[in-house]
Amino acid sequence: MDIYHIWFNLKPGVRDTAFTEALAGYMDHLRSLGAVESHRLMRRKLGLAPPGLGEFHLMIETRDMAQLETAFSHVASRAEPAEAAHHGVNRLVAGVSFGLYRDFPDEHRTYGEERF
């Protein structure tokens, strides 16, 4: 699995429940297209997190880079209904940071032939 991580804060005045409702609609839309497998939303607890990361952490799981590219291409088209769903989430957040990680070790990893 490839996991797209997004750390962020909500803009001032945005209700956390309004954000979670918008996010659920957006993720349901992408999942219905087969563009993502699942997602998980987390919120910082007790103020414990590295400096600079937002209060919220969203993890979006895809099978592979091809599926992630499908999601990105769909959203980048700026066409409805993706545009409304993406805007409905994006307009609520600030201070966004991204990361892309994968499960390790990789399923297809060969052992014993490494040169470094």
Residue range 3-19, pLDDT digits in tens: 999 999 999 999 999 99
Determine, yes or no, domain membership for 1: no
Determine, yes or no, domain membership for 41: yes
pTM to 2 decimal places: 0.91
**In terms of residue numbers, what domain contains 49?**
9-101
Determine, yes or no, domain membership for 24: yes
Determine, yes or no, domain membership for 106: no
Determine, yes or no, domain membership for 78: yes
CATH classification of the domain holding 28: 3.30.70
Which CA distances in Å does 64 have to 68, 83, 103?
7, 23, 10
pLDDT of residue 106: 85
pLDDT of residue 78: 95
Q: Please state, for a pLDDT cut of 90, what percent of the chain lies above it.
A: 86
Looking up tokens 């998980």 gives: 40
pLDDT tens, 34-57?
999 999 999 999 999 998 899 999
Contact 89, 6 (CB under 8 A): no
Total domains in the chain come to 1
Reply yes or no on whether the pLDDT at 107 is more than 90: no
Determine, yes or no, domain membership for 109: no
